[in-house]
Amino acid sequence: MAEKKFQGFWLIQLSFLVALYLQALPMPPALLYFRPEWLSLVLIFWSLSLPQRVGIMHGFGWGLLLDLIEGTLLGHNAVALALLGFLSNRFYQRIRMYSMLKQSALVFLLIGVSQLVFQWLQGIFGAMSGIGFLLLPALISAVLWHWVFVLLQGVKRRFALV
3-state SS class at 132: coil
- Find, among 12, 7, 5, the residue nearest to 43 by Cα: 12
d(CA 118, CA 115) in angstroms, rounded, equals 5
40 C-beta neighbours (distance < 10 Å), count: 29
The confidence band for 33, taking pLDDT boundaries of 50, 70 and 90, is confident
Q: What is the pLDDT of residues 109-156, one digit of tens each?
A: 999 999 999 988 888 887 766 666 788 999 999 999 999 999 999 999
Residues 6+ apart with CB under 8 A from 69: 20, 23, 24
What's the pLDDT at 134?
80
Residue 127 contacts residue 73 (beta carbons within 8 Å): yes
pLDDT tens profile 55-107: 999 999 999 999 999 988 899 999 999 999 999 999 999 999 999 999 999 99
Reference 75, options 86, 84, 66; nearest CA is 66
pLDDT at 117: 92
Note whether 75 and 64 are within 8 A (CB): yes
How confident is residue 6, by pLDDT bands cut at 50, 70 and 90? low
Q: How confident is the model at residue 8 (pLDDT cuts 50, 70, 90)?
A: confident
The pLDDT, as a whole number, for residue 62 is 97
Residues contacting residue 94 through CB under 8 Å, at least 6 positions apart: none
Q: What is the pLDDT of residue 132?
A: 61
Q: Band the pLDDT of 3: cuts 50, 70, 90.
A: low
* pLDDT of res. 2: 54
3 alpha carbon, distance to own chain's centre:
27
CA distance linking residue 134 with residue 128, whole number of Å:
12
Q: What is the pLDDT of residue 139?
A: 95
* HSE of 115, CA atoms in CB hemisphere, 13 A: 25
pTM of the model: 0.93
Q: How many residues does the chain have?
A: 162
